[in-house]
Amino acid sequence: MGQDESRPISPSIPPRQLKSRSIESVAHYILNRPVSKVVVLTGAGISTSAGIPDFRSPETGLYANLSRLNLPYAEAVFDIAYFRQNPEPFYTLAAELYPGKFRPTLAHSFIRLLADKGLLLKLFTQNIDCLEREAGVPGDLIVEAHGSFAEQSCIECKLFYDKDEIRKHVAAKTIPRCPSCDGLVKPEIVFFGEQLPAAFFANRMLPVEADLVIVMGTSLTVQPFASLPQLAREDAVRVLINKEVVGGLGSRADDVVVLEDCDEGVRQLAKALGWLNDLEALWAETRPAREQEVNQTEFTKDEKLEREIDKLTKEVDETLNLSKWQDEKVRGDVLPSVKQDTAKGPATVKATAVNDTAIHAVAVPGQTPHEDEKGDLGHVFPASKPSNTSDDKH
């Protein structure tokens, strides 16, 4: 069970379990061999198409966007010692990533499909986004190796904290505290300086039992997670669906490497298995309710034309109203017009919104760099804070 060599296996060496090192042969193996134990290993790449920002892109990454909080170093946002002193950066990040904002990807639904067919032995994920759960993968089949937003507790007395309560704090941009000891509350995400979850160590040898190991969207650089593919037996099939070759995969006789993004790779595998319709149906279930409602509505040709005309008319009206507001602003009478008539439609709303934002943007430099005594993070999100602060509820 030592480390595999990183160089790819010679094409002259035939596979042992597969007819060829291809997706089609993997599908044949699943359908015609007694495959009943599939282990899936995933990383951040499985969630990219969901729109979750990455961490390290120079201008758009979450670490770059947290620079306004003056972190001593980027990873401090996940450092438990720093969190004890200043929880604000983490909760700023939590507001961006909290479950419910993103739809699971096709790859997440494929894992759900494996579970529905009774083939999934265990999913090991490095991700904290809970998208596997939202796709419908049963919680008892998931090992969140680096923790997740699924549960939360006090970092001092370890008291469990209600998920609905922490959701309210994240939405209000306030810092939750333990009702028992007033300690800081944190989702059970593994920070630097903390141990991995006990569930990881209790299940880490399961790849040894697998008939098939599927690795998706991970660089396999972080230990001990990175060692899991090497635990697979020599007679097990390993499949890598990734943008690049990682972790020595491709060095064994029955390794199949698919250099695609995760959604495209699972689509190819599902098609070869004859499961594509099942997969797309499961993924459709994850569509937001409002979108499902619209898509399920049947319209006649005339109704569709009427909806398009209404949409264009509304856009023209909004443009005209915006132009009117701009003219008024130049004349310096925007605010009086807003006060005199609060029912003039889009122009009034836009003027109010712009002025609210401007007021709070000016107020920011006077704020302290840390949370106030109520745990308010309004100074981090100035544009979203109501103008009448006396009505704020935290």
Q: Annotated active-site positions, please? A: 146
**What's at 258, amino acid-wise?**
V
> b/e string for 345-377 if b means 16 or more Cβ within 10 A?
ebbbebbeeeebeeebeeeeeeeeeebeeebbb
Q: Assign residue 248 a region: left if phi > 0, alpha if psi is -120 to 50, beta otherwise?
A: left
CA-based R_g, the chain, Å: 26
Q: Assign residue 391 a region: left if phi > 0, alpha if psi is -120 to 50, beta otherwise?
A: alpha
**Has 154 been labeled as part of a binding site?**
yes
C-alpha span between 226 and 307 (Å, rounded): 52
Could you give the dihedral angle defined by the CA atoms of residues 331, 332, 335 and 338, in that order, rounded to the nearest 10 degrees? Answer: 0
Cβ-based neighbours of 85, under 8 Å, separated by 6 or more: none
Question: Residue 154's Cα: distance from chain center in Å?
Answer: 23
Cβ-based neighbours of 274, under 8 Å, separated by 6 or more: none
Q: Which of these, 216, 12, 227, lies nearest to 125 by C-alpha position?
A: 216
Alpha helices per DSSP H over the chain: 23-32, 62-65, 80-85, 88-97, 106-116, 131-135, 163-172, 198-203, 262-273, 276-285, 289-296, 301-331, 334-340, 346-363
C-alpha span between 299 and 281 (Å, rounded): 22
**Has 130 been labeled as part of a binding site?**
no
Residue 290: exposed, middle, or buried by beta-carbon count in 10 A (0-12, 13-18, 19+)?
exposed
Q: Which of these, 237, 273, 272, 251, lies nearest to 16 by C-alpha position?
A: 237
Annotated binding residues for Zn(2+), written as ranges, equal 154, 157, 178, 181
